[in-house]
Amino acid sequence: MVKQGIQIFARAKPTKQKLAGIYEVYEDDNGTSCLAFTVPKDLADGYINNKREVYKFRFDKVFDQDSKQDEIFEEVAQGVIDNVLTGYNGTIFAYGQTGSGKTFTITGGAERYVDRGLIPRSLSYIFEYFEKHSETVFTAHISYLEIYMESGYDLLDPKHEASKLEDLPKVTLFEDNDSNIHLKNLSMHQASNEEEALNLLFLGDTNRMIAETPMNQASTRSHCIFTIHISSRDPGSATIRRAKLHLVDLAGSERVGKTNVGGTLLTEAKYINLSLHYLEQVIVALSEKSRSHIPYRNSMMTSVLRDSLGGNCMTTMIATCSLEKKNLDESISTCRFAQRVAMIKNDVLLNEEIDPKLMIAQLKAEVQRLKDELAMATGQEYTGELTENEMDRLRQMVKSYIEDVDPEAVLSVGADMRKINYCFQLLKNYLLDKSKLKPSPPPQKTPTMNGDHDSSYLGNHTELSKLKDLIRQRDNEINILVGMLKKEKKRAADLGVSGKQGGGRFYDRTGVAPDGVRRSTSQPLNDDSGNELSNKRSTSRTRENGRPSSDTTEHREQPQAAGEDSSHHRPSSAYRRKLDEMSVGRKEAFETFRRDYDHNDTIEENKQTLKLRYADAKRLGEQTRSKRKLNNTEFDVQCKVQGELHSTAFS
């Protein structure tokens, strides 16, 4: 609870008369706005006259004749509306003499848009605030009450059947046990936007009681209270804040002796002055600390404004003053009334309450959650199938969970195993459907020995993977070179042995024999094996092409001479020494590389496999060579027999 004083403002009505020396607006040494009136002494009262001449009054701010409507709104109403939007009650009321500008300040003029008063400007400000804070749920309801001759009327008659004031629904008061005032037959209309709210304001203004008086051509003969009820709730919260904003246009006080009115106008003036008198009594009682009774029930207006005066409300008053010389007494009386109002302290509270519907829903959800936890802790399983509504809700939850880009998103369905299993099934179906729809990746080209890569390879690999592949390619090249060196060394040793025997052939570095047939350098081949390999290749080419190969025929027709010397194919001694030195240096490098290489085990296994295959090939070669020797022996025997036959015939 906060003690909040009532703020008071003063506004001077513009006039065309010369007012030099009658009033003054200034600021004192403390920076407080002051309004001073000067009343010259009347010589008719005599030379000895102790009547006071200067009257000074302090206000929170004084608005001179040139003040604009937007300035009035910003200083008087905007702060109160901001508090109302946060949950505090607020009241703004205008008080003053008839014709001093109360209705123009509260409602505004109808001729120009810039002459809008506090009520239409407040509606615009409130709905703009609603749009800026769209995350909060706001609702606004409007009521319009008129108090005419101590009777209340609803200016927003929902039936719109009234042709005169007496036909409007009559509003009555009643008080509950907590001393709260309730208005019966006062309708409240919801406004969802500014246009609807302004339409309600215009409807109420057309039903107001207005009459022409000597003081004002269009004088409001009643008190009008325009109330905006605002409720707000944050998303997911069960707390509702309710506040109301009263914008009160009081009827103007007047002296019957000056106006000389009669009839209905006189009766209206009596009721107006009486209700304002009761209002002043309430204010005087509130300003006196020793008073225990506040006469709110004396009039309907003081009963309705019970919260605004000394209750739970932030209240602001604007006193309108007429600066003409004939109205100085009424203007001074108005300022004195404002000074008494400033002494009142209100007890301001934040109007919060718990929405029973939301609280019931939250309690039900909490009970269900506790039941789920208890069922999971005790091992009790639910019986029955999930309803269609539950499955739809679970599908929506899983869909939202899959589409959520937040890596820390959580899918919470409670402790019901039926729901958990159903969600797992939905996720599994989603993955299966996604794998079916996923296109197969395009074939990637294997990197060649020359380092060529296709575009897909470069597009689908990162820089790190490309570097790893490059290193792997270099390792393969080193392995191939080392293997070639090893084979070269072994072939040189085999050539040395074959040269001593005189029956071997020499092959160059490419492993191609003089007959044009490429042979493996890892096997010591002789003429028979070479001829056999040539015969097999010739046979295969003949089967593929359907006719014998000419190259094979030429090789068969040109056998090597039996006594041909092959010593000129042997490498020179300098070349052999250089080859030995190169082999020894590279052997050490190779041993170091082989010791540190990661795939030594695989290489050893491959070597053992090659040895076994080499042994099988050697065995098959021996068998082939034996068969050829047998064929050659048979051929020699036949030749020998034929020779003997020829010699016998000639002899």
**Of the candidates 316, 374, 411, which has an alpha carbon nearest to the alpha carbon of residue 88?**
316
CA–CA dist 198, 205 (Å, integer):
11
Judge whether 101 is annotated as a binding position: yes
Mean pLDDT on 272-290: 84
Task: Please report, for residues 14, 324, 335, the alpha-carbon distance to residue 19 in angstroms, rounded to integers and kept in the order given.
Answer: 11, 7, 18
> pTM for the whole thing?
0.56
| 537 three-state secondary structure | helix
578-590 pLDDT per residue, tens: 556 555 566 777 7
Give 544 or 13, the one with higher predicted confidence: 13
Task: Please report, for residues 249, 269, 272, 320, 322, the alpha-carbon distance to residue 256 in angstroms, rounded to integers and kept in the order given.
Answer: 21, 8, 11, 20, 17
Mean pLDDT on 27-47: 77
pLDDT at 544: 43
CA–CA dist 121, 109 (Å, integer):
12
pLDDT at 140: 95
> Does the pLDDT value for residue 533 go beyond 50?
no
**Of the candidates 198, 181, 191, 187, which has an alpha carbon nearest to the alpha carbon of residue 162?**
187
Judge whether 99 is annotated as a binding position: yes
Exposed/middle/buried for residue 85 (C-beta within 10 Å: 0-12, 13-18, 19+)? buried
Question: DSSP class of residue 166?
Answer: G
pLDDT at 598: 76
Judge whether 320 is annotated as a binding position: no
pLDDT at 641: 56
> Does the pLDDT value for residue 351 go beyond 70?
yes
Give 365 or 220, the one with higher predicted confidence: 365
User: Do residues 137 and 235 touch, judged by C-beta distance below 8 A?
Assistant: yes
User: Do residues 98 and 257 touch, judged by C-beta distance below 8 A?
Assistant: no
DSSP string, 488-515: HHHHHHHHHHHHHHT------TT-B-TT
Mean pLDDT of the residues in the chain: 76
Phi first, then psi, for residue 480 (nearest 5°) are: -65, -45
Percent of the chain with pLDDT over 90: 18
Number of H helices, E strands in the chain: 18, 19
Residues 6+ positions from 161 with CB-CB distance below 8 Å: 167
Judge whether 511 is annotated as a binding position: no
449-501 pLDDT per residue, tens: 444 444 444 444 467 777 888 888 888 888 888 888 888 888 888 776 555 44
Phi first, then psi, for residue 300 (nearest 5°) are: -70, -35
Judge whether 100 is annotated as a binding position: yes
**Of the candidates 423, 250, 258, which has an alpha carbon nearest to the alpha carbon of residue 341?**
250
Judge whether 102 is annotated as a binding position: yes
**Of the candidates 258, 228, 229, 275, which has an alpha carbon nearest to the alpha carbon of residue 95?**
275
Mean pLDDT on 181-201: 91
CA–CA dist 47, 53 (Å, integer):
15
Q: How far apart are the first and last CA of the chain?
A: 157
Judge whether 542 is annotated as a binding position: no
pLDDT at 213: 54
Mean pLDDT on 230-242: 86
User: Do residues 6 and 248 touch, judged by C-beta distance below 8 A?
Assistant: no
85-111 pLDDT per residue, tens: 999 999 999 998 888 888 899 998 878
Task: Give the count of beta carbons closer than 10 Å to the beta carbon of residue 581.
Answer: 10
**Following CA atoms 391, 393, 397, 398 in sequence, which dihedral angle do they give, to the nearest 10 degrees?**
20
Mean pLDDT on 499-517: 44
Judge whether 499 is annotated as a binding position: no
Q: pLDDT category, 335, cuts 50, 70, 90? A: very high
pLDDT at 536: 43
